[in-house]
Structure 1
Amino acid sequence: MADLALNLALARPPDPGEQLRDEPGPDTEHCLRLYAKLASGVTVVTTQGGDGRPTGMTVSALTSLSARPPLLLACLRNGSHTLSAIGGQGVFAVNLLRDNQRSRAAQFADPAVSPSERFREIPLRRVLGAPVFGDALGWSVCLVEDIRRYGDHSAVVGRVAVVQVASGRPLLWHDRRFGSLSGAGAGAGAGEGAPR
């Protein structure tokens, strides 16, 4: 019986994850160079701050997580005022930026720009208490399902409660630069425009 157990153990292939867990891994610069090659849409995540004023930040790490139930996942930098406010409010908005809104993306990414300056001259409306951009390519308001810290960011999972989509082209982030789509693909789809 002992021989059988030994033979089974020897026949089992080694777990590569077991070996890698003890390795230091690539340095931060190499990882960031790889991450820069990931093309993504640019969004501004917004919520209401503890002082009753809107707060928000530019986020490129956003993805759909589930259609049933409808869930989005956004990764926000730990220590940010926006992340803290989302945890306190339990609701946040995701504003998808248009390709002509590069300056807005830069403004919401700059830590030297105050929250009041960031929101100046932006057409805002409140949906479920969260500020949304009236001129965004699309937006959704999400109720917080979960927030978990991973390294220097936190993964925020939100259940989509309301969504609105307009026509146009998205602002993209790739290789540490803003960009836009070229060619076809910016046409309006059926059922766009009305909140759901």
Structure 2
Amino acid sequence: MADLTLAPQRPGEPSAEGWDALRDEPGPDTVRCLGLYAKLTAGVSVVSALDAGGRPTGMTVSALTSLSARPPLLLACLRTGARTLTALRHQGAFAISVLTEDQRPGASRFADPSVPPAARFDGVPVQHVLGLPVLADALAWAVCVVQDVRPYGDHHAVVGRVRALAVNGGRPLLWHDRAFHALT
């Protein structure tokens, strides 16, 4: 790794040697990045959609955030190649279910790639809102139409315009240091 303290410069301004530390530094390797990302605490949600055959599909995500209140937009990051990403792109709509600390088993099931998509919903109370499956016992949920989908590295950023939502009581399920946690 280069010594970035030798040539003070403003970001984007090449040094006397023509080297821009901010843009030319190769950055840390994947393992170190994942170590940093593990320290980011996030709420846990399930993104759901209907596949081309009208069957429900869903996956656990921890990369979900509000993007705008006017218009109401949410941003979710889904792994490239995920069936749920394919389904929401095809359908042009998806749902978000923000999970409670009591929904840890469901979060694990929706994150397990060995569980078939439709089987992830087995035994999970679901309601259909505007045709999409939302987890009935969720802390909150939203149904969105796809506003934009863009690839970034090994994930896609999905922006959804909220069309319906509900907020319920409970305590959130959290993801931190590669494990589920509850507020204390």
TM beyond 0.5 = yes
Aligned to 1:72: 74
Deviations 1:21-63 (A, max 9, x none): 3222100010001001110000000001111110000000000
Shift of residue 103, structure 1, vs aligned partner:
0.9
Amino acid at match of 1:15: G
Shift of residue 128, structure 1, vs aligned partner:
1.7
Task: Give secondary structure in 2 for the equivalent of 1:100.
Answer: helix
Task: Give secondary structure in 1 for the equivalent of 2:101.
Answer: coil
Structure 1 residue runs of 4+, over 2 Å off?
16-23
Shift of residue 14, structure 1, vs aligned partner:
5.6
Q: Compared with structure 1, are the counterparts of its residues 154 and 63 closer, same or farther at alpha carbon in structure 2 (3 Å cutoff)? A: same
Q: Give the Cα–Cα distance (whole angstroms) in 2 for the partners of residues 64 and 163 of structure 1.
A: 13
How many matched pairs?
171
Aligned to 2:50: 48
Amino acid at match of 2:127: R
Q: Compared with structure 1, are the counterparts of its residues 168 and 19 closer, same or farther at alpha carbon in structure 2 (3 Å cutoff)? A: same
Q: Give the Cα–Cα distance (whole angstroms) in 2 for the partners of residues 16 and 91 of structure 1.
A: 43
Task: Give secondary structure in 2 for the equivalent of 1:31.
Answer: helix
TM-score (norm 1): 0.83
Aligned to 2:172: 170
Q: Give the Cα–Cα distance (whole angstroms) in 1 for the partners of residues 104 and 136 of structure 2.
A: 16
Once the two structures are superposed, the pairs formed by residues 22-61 of structure 1 within 5 Å of their partners are 22-61=24-63
User: Is contact 2:47–2:60 with CA below 8 Å preserved after alignment?
Assistant: yes
Task: Give secondary structure in 1 for the equivalent of 2:150.
Answer: strand
Task: Give secondary structure in 1 for the equivalent of 2:102.
Answer: coil
TM-score (norm 2): 0.89
Q: Please, which runs of 5 or more residues in structure 1 have no aligned partner?
A: 1-11, 183-196
- Which one has a bigger Cα radius of gyration? 1
Q: Give the Cα–Cα distance (whole angstroms) in 2 for the partners of residues 14 and 55 of structure 1.
A: 43
Aligned to 1:186: none
Q: Give the Cα–Cα distance (whole angstroms) in 1 for the partners of residues 158 and 147 of structure 2.
A: 8
Among candidates 5, 12, 15, match of residue 15 of structure 1? 12
Aligned to 1:115: 117
Shift of residue 78, structure 1, vs aligned partner:
0.1
Matching of residue 90 in structure 1 with residue 87 in structure 2: no
User: Is contact 2:43–2:172 with CA below 8 Å preserved after alignment?
Assistant: yes
User: Is contact 2:46–2:61 with CA below 8 Å preserved after alignment?
Assistant: yes
Q: Give the Cα–Cα distance (whole angstroms) in 1 for the partners of residues 53 and 39 of structure 2.
A: 38
Q: Give the Cα–Cα distance (whole angstroms) in 1 for the partners of residues 91 and 145 of structure 2.
A: 9
Task: Give secondary structure in 2 for the equivalent of 1:88.
Answer: helix
Deviations 1:142-182 (A, max 9, x none): 11100000000000000111010111100000111111112
Amino acid at match of 2:113: P
Deviations 1:115-158 (A, max 9, x none): 12201011212212211111111100011100000000000000
Task: Among all aligned residue pairs of Structure 1 and Structure 2, give the percentage whose two residues are the same amino acid.
Answer: 61
Q: Compared with structure 1, are the counterparts of its residues 34 and 131 closer, same or farther at alpha carbon in structure 2 (3 Å cutoff)? A: same
Among candidates 80, 91, 103, match of residue 105 of structure 2? 103
- Which deviates more from structure 2 when the two are superposed, residues 129-138 or residues 140-149? 129-138
Amino acid at match of 1:145: Q
Q: Compared with structure 1, are the counterparts of its residues 118 and 22 closer, same or farther at alpha carbon in structure 2 (3 Å cutoff)? A: same
Q: Give the Cα–Cα distance (whole angstroms) in 2 for the partners of residues 112 and 46 of structure 1.
A: 17
